[in-house]
Amino acid sequence: MSGVEKALAAFRDVHGYDPEGVFSAPGRVNLIGEHTDHNEGHVLPFAIDRRTYVAVARRDDDRVTVCSDDPDTEPAELAVGKLVTASGWSAYPLGTVWALGVDGGWDLVVHGEVPLGAGLSSSAALESAVALAVDELTGAGLGRVALAEAGRRAENEVVGAPVGIMDQAASLLCREGSALLLDCRSMTTEDVALGFETAGLAVLVIDSRVRHDLADGGYADRRAACVAAAEALGVPALRDATLPAVENLPEGAPRKRARHVVTEEARVHETVALVRAGRPREVGAVLAASHASLRDDYEVSVPEVDAIVDAAVGEGALGARIMGGGFGGSVIALVPTDAVDAVGRACAALSPRPTVREVSPAAGARRER
């Protein structure tokens, strides 16, 4: 069965009738621009061909129910006014409904195909599918940027993860075949055709199987260090800082975190320039520089991830780096198509055994039925 059919079947099993609609949204990989989003900088993500499906129907009371066909998840039910108190996995969909500020109850049944905890933004896929469903079925017409803001607010204020808006924006706004150049301050976007397939390149996402939780202290500590660095430099956000100014900061975490953000911001623009100039193979070196910065300055890599990067490059990848929040998750690697099998075998031989997936740029959130 397709993902749509599985979501429909799950809804019928739970509620005994058909939903009003089925909506889906994709996970994402971020080609370049890691931890620049919450510093009001630029990012370059693309949606992937792994999606989360939500079957949805309105209720005639003020209750919102959510369940999943994943047996490891517990169903939840809350009154609309209590959604901000949601916890566990259900905080993502329930928090999104709360953030949208709509009246009335909902039945939500989820079928997810975005791997959990692997740096592919399964949470944003879920939030984006729910947000689009509620927006379309109520006729609110909020617009996709507003829906992305609702997903971020759910994570910030209900889940307790101080994430930026990149993941939700990518899940809602990306177009098939392109990455999304997103200015996280102005929320302006540009589609960027990558040209990887024409150049004989593939993108591999290699799940380290080392899990992380962005609501824990590591991510928040780094974000706080970025805020401290911006304050010390007298700029609104680190996107406005210069590298010479950063290097004049005292030794310590704020200086290192700021150095990563400022150099990563430059790498975003370098990558866009390279692919637009028809030189996508050179993006590999940019990915390698990004990983070194994330490992040494932002300090969010772990030994298992570093081993994957080394194995991928050793077997022919043009470049590879950790992506997502860090502390585990996945590696993105830019690989010539004739080296895909060798890179996959080398990475799969590591321990714990990583999962290797080839991905391509896909469309953002949509109504399926």
Known active-site residue 167: yes
Burial of residue 91 (CB within 10 Å: 0-12, 13-18, 19+) is buried
CA separation for the pair 179, 148 (Å, rounded): 17
Nearest to 198 by CA among 356, 361, 323: 361
Kindly state the tokens that stand for 181: 């150049």
Catalytic residue among 167, 183, 191, 341: 167
In this structure, are strands 319-322 and 178-183 parallel, antiparallel, or unpaired?
A: unpaired
Burial of residue 367 (CB within 10 Å: 0-12, 13-18, 19+) is middle
Q: Look up residue 248 and give its amino acid.
A: N
In this structure, are strands 63-68 and 106-112 parallel, antiparallel, or unpaired?
A: parallel
CA separation for the pair 98, 92 (Å, rounded): 10
Kindly state the tokens that stand for 33: 């621009």
Burial 106-145 (b: 16+ CB within 10 A, else e): bbbbbbbbbbebbbbbbbbbbbbbbbbbbbbbeeeebebb
CA separation for the pair 86, 64 (Å, rounded): 11
Kindly state the tokens that stand for 84: 């901000």
Given the structure tokens 């900088």, which residue do they identify?
A: 41
**In terms of DSSP H, where are the helices of the chain?**
3-15, 91-100, 122-138, 144-153, 166-173, 217-233, 243-247, 253-276, 283-296, 303-314, 340-348
CA separation for the pair 307, 304 (Å, rounded): 5
Neighbours of 97 (CB within 10 A): 26
CA separation for the pair 207, 214 (Å, rounded): 16
Q: Where in the sequence numbering do the catalytic residues fall?
A: 167
